[in-house]
Amino acid sequence: MLKILEGLVKTKIVTENPATWGESCGRGLPVIHANACLPGCNKCEEACPTGAISGKAIDPKACITCHSCRQVCPAGAIDETDMPVILGSPSLEAAGRSLRERIKKVCKRSLHIRYVDAGACNGCDFEINAVTNPVYDIQQYGVDFAASPRHADMLLVTGVVTRNLEIALQKTFEACPRPTLVVAVGACACGGGIFKEAYAAGGGVDKHLPADVYVPGCPPTPALIIKGILAAIDRL
């Protein structure tokens, strides 16, 4: 917190450069270097709130990228992967070009998405909303969000699929024309996340629908969501 305050005093702009206050630019998955681990040490497994670490391996569907494992590792054997897509980088532009080409070829020039909140904390929902802003502008690639599932080619689902929303999610999927692509966005939708043991949680999306693509993260960035949409189209 003190580093953040110090950065704000110096820059006066919160979003200027995360490195200013000691944070990395990404929200990448942690990576365990097993050869650097201390014998018999299981502190990372004990610290993981979702049980994503087992046998020095990390399940990306369960990881919420909190990096508690990195903080408790006494050997410094856990690193953070770089964010696969950085805003304004050629990789994002390349993903956009590929998305436009695939949509034009596979979806007859347009892709309509129905977004479904199946019990999310709204973190992933904010990131999905950001893909339509002037920065990412996913609509320039021929993507639009449909008000009705009857017009949708793809479902973007967030949340742990609470008991109250199981039926609503099923009916939304059934109302979509076939074939319907299903993309699970965020750790909760991928594998239940931190709420998977809650009494009202019904588990990840794949317990209720046939998920085609998983976009892990808590939450994933808009750029990663765009790449997830591209990966889903490639499955057709």
- Phi and psi angles of residue 95, each rounded to the nearest 5 degrees, phi first: -65, -40
Which residue did the predictor score with more confidence, 14 or 4? 4
- Does 204 share its domain with 158? yes
Structure tokens at 157: 């689902």
Q: Which among 116, 98, 129 has a CA at the least distance from the CA of 184?
A: 116
Task: Tally the domains of the chain.
Answer: 2
pLDDT in tens, 103-138: 777 767 688 999 999 999 999 999 999 998 888 888
Q: Which among 29, 51, 91 has a CA at the least distance from the CA of 218?
A: 29
Of 82, 102, 118, the residue that ends a domain is 82
- Does 176 share its domain with 69? no
Q: For residue 87, what pLDDT is reported?
A: 37
pLDDT in tens, 44-77: 999 988 888 887 888 888 888 888 888 899 888 8
Length of the chain, in residues: 236
Range of the domain at 61: 27-82
Q: For residue 11, what pLDDT is reported?
A: 45
Write down the mean pLDDT value for the chain: 80
- Does 97 share its domain with 144? yes
What is the separation of C-alpha 223 from the centre of its chain, rounded to a whole number of angstroms? 10
- Does 75 share its domain with 108? no
- Where residue 113 sits, what CATH number does that domain have? 3.40.50.12280
- Does 119 share its domain with 187? yes
> H helices of 39-136, where?
43-47, 68-72, 90-106, 123-130
- Does 138 share its domain with 206? yes
